[in-house]
Structure 1
């Protein structure tokens, strides 16, 4: 029998998915979701909404299906969505894009990230700098691309990087600085000082910047600032986003990449051999969403802020310490005041103790970095108000 390719085996093993005996381990997300289903616990672990998105977007998808938009779209994406992405970047950030050259539709942000790293990393001498804890696909894709992952820690409770540690991490070996802002899993929004330093270091070391901005419209107390808008950043920056979080359509997997044509073309060169194309009928629907009035975008942030505050109050009342997030779906809490020493073990006990599911922050960290997150948990606030109220009531049992 043909052997499993070494790159995949190294990636799976490094992610903790393959045991020393070759067995396949489920991810903590699958484990916690199964535990929620088995115990009837409220699942605040996985980051997906429990309500549908705006009716205009859903109706546009139905109309597209009825009108026969059901076959392969163009490789770059439907022109209407490419136009809408360009309009969105101009409207919110003042970026001028040629939709035929500076934009590309992808199968969600995750495919865009994978294609970007696979297309832009040159080999094993390249390094990818990330902010830890990080979205779990980052490490897997860096390994598949043959790059070395270099984490820069974000520490409780502010989760802002230490600039000296960032400067030490970015060197002439750095090919890509991978930036997730607003940040999953911590809910942090990077300061202007951090953003400026990322761009300065990228210029100094001739590195590329790849940004994951899927929570761009879920910032609570300030306007989102894409790195591509900063002086000197555009020519070396790929910006990635998607419609899943903004329009509560996470299952549609419609994402996009914007940036200089040579960088976007490098992503397309890989993307065409991954999914090729996807979601034809969903593309005009997301285009309709991107053209919704400003009141919609402000409204989704306002609604999530209410949920953030409700969840945070419930966690504090249960005896946990809380880091109030500046954006995203997520709130991080410290279970150490309740005697926790192992976040994963605490999460496995939580459904039985309180009828609620969370995710340990250690699931988002490298083996070397997990110690600093040993008692931290991530909770998702993207649920109906009544669900969060019930979760808060249940969490009171921890007292």
Structure 2
């Protein structure tokens, strides 16, 4: 019989993508996978079409078109005062944030290295570490505010620690890390000579107002040891375009570029060209984005609370973790999520998959809903979910 690697045997299929397929099979409203059901800005579509008709259809420069790297650097400087990125030495354009995270993991970690992660996590982080032969060291985020214990975090660092990974704003909890938390991470990274990897794909989707989101690379002590991962997907409603990037000091960027080259060669050329148009959108675009997502958040959370779910409204990202204990006497989020798809017609993701097996009880009765949807989609889903009230 054919044999698979031990690494591939250490993790399962993506629960999020499995939920997507089940929802499609049953024609359910998809509040499981985090993709918008509304169009991206029209100027992006026009820019992509122009690029294709201009025959920008061949390999671009491996680590990103110069025009796109310059646009990323310019947008970063406009958004965050004092953050100057060198587009020639500190940027690598990738096939989405997902490939960026893989390239970063392989560029940083050797077998036996340890990487600190917070739990619950976005499901890609742990498999990435396992594929690199690294050892995850997990620190729990605790309800209701999804804070962590300082001593537990300190104990996770040691001589074998090479990196720490955070999602900020966080998927699935909606947590936005505070300055004090980031400063503690900075202290530990300096003490143990550790690199911080930040998945910042939801940087513009938060509900804390001006200054509520702090880029870790702007925290003292993290400037020269942070890799920031981002992408067009969430901010510009183009999750299928697969154009992402990393921002990192030159030495780290050089390593990431080498790994990226042998993973995928380059991100799609015409979509990189369209990315220049996206990154030149005015500041009002991002203000409006946050306002509209707050409205969607409140619409869905109001409905879920009325139906009987328990939840904490997220401070960032476009997901909400909802506890089913009032609606499900078995407190089994996995079975509950399947029932929603097959009987109610709405999909969500069972949240237990965001915790390690020995901690599944922490997420056992929870499910994750995504709200990057048109208001009419969310209202239709809420109407179907009222069937849970009997």
TM-score by length of 1: 0.93
Separation of aligned partners in 1, 2:103 and 2:388 = 44
Q: Which residue of 2 aligns with 1:268?
A: 257
Evaluate the alpha carbon distance shift between residue 30 and residue 208 of structure 1 in structure 2; reply closer, same or farther with a 3 A threshold: closer
SS at match of 2:263: coil
Q: Which residue of 1 aligns with 2:215?
A: 226
Q: Which residue of 1 aligns with 2:357?
A: 367
Deviation at 1:369, TM superposition (A): 2.3
Q: Which residue of 2 aligns with 1:51?
A: 38
Pair 1:117 & 2:113 matched: no
- Given that 2:17 and 2:33 are in contact with CA atoms closer than 8 Å, whether structure 1 keeps it comes out as no
The correspondence for 1:280, drawn from 269, 293, 297, is: 269
Separation of aligned partners in 1, 2:9 and 2:355 = 14
Separation of aligned partners in 2, 1:121 and 1:235 = 18
SS at match of 1:113: helix
Q: State the number of aligned residues.
A: 385
TM-score by length of 2: 0.95
The correspondence for 2:126, drawn from 139, 150, 156, is: 139
Evaluate the alpha carbon distance shift between residue 35 and residue 2 of structure 1 in structure 2; reply closer, same or farther with a 3 A threshold: closer
- Name structure 2 gaps, 5 residues minimum: none
Pair 1:71 & 2:58 matched: yes
Q: Which residue of 1 aligns with 2:87?
A: 99
Separation of aligned partners in 1, 2:51 and 2:18 = 37
Pair 1:397 & 2:387 matched: yes
Q: Which residue of 1 aligns with 2:155?
A: 168
- Given that 2:116 and 2:163 are in contact with CA atoms closer than 8 Å, whether structure 1 keeps it comes out as yes
| Root-mean-square deviation over aligned CA pairs | 1.4
Separation of aligned partners in 1, 2:189 and 2:146 = 21
Separation of aligned partners in 2, 1:394 and 1:2 = 45
Separation of aligned partners in 2, 1:377 and 1:274 = 33
Deviation at 1:307, TM superposition (A): 0.4
Separation of aligned partners in 1, 2:318 and 2:131 = 28
Deviation at 1:340, TM superposition (A): 4.1
Deviations 1:370-393 (A, max 9, x none): 221111110000011001011111
Deviations 1:146-186 (A, max 9, x none): 10011111123322222222111122221000011000111
Evaluate the alpha carbon distance shift between residue 76 and residue 39 of structure 1 in structure 2; reply closer, same or farther with a 3 A threshold: closer
Q: Which residue of 2 aligns with 1:212?
A: 199
Q: Which residue of 2 aligns with 1:23?
A: none
Aligned runs of 1:224-303 on 2, under 5 Å? 224-303=213-292
Separation of aligned partners in 2, 1:112 and 1:28 = 21
Select between 85-94 and 352-361 the one with higher mean Cα deviation. 352-361
Separation of aligned partners in 2, 1:63 and 1:283 = 12
Separation of aligned partners in 2, 1:178 and 1:257 = 14
Evaluate the alpha carbon distance shift between residue 307 and residue 71 of structure 1 in structure 2; reply closer, same or farther with a 3 A threshold: same
Q: Which residue of 2 aligns with 1:345?
A: 335
SS at match of 1:234: coil
Evaluate the alpha carbon distance shift between residue 324 and residue 67 of structure 1 in structure 2; reply closer, same or farther with a 3 A threshold: same
SS at match of 1:197: helix
Q: Which residue of 2 aligns with 1:128?
A: 115
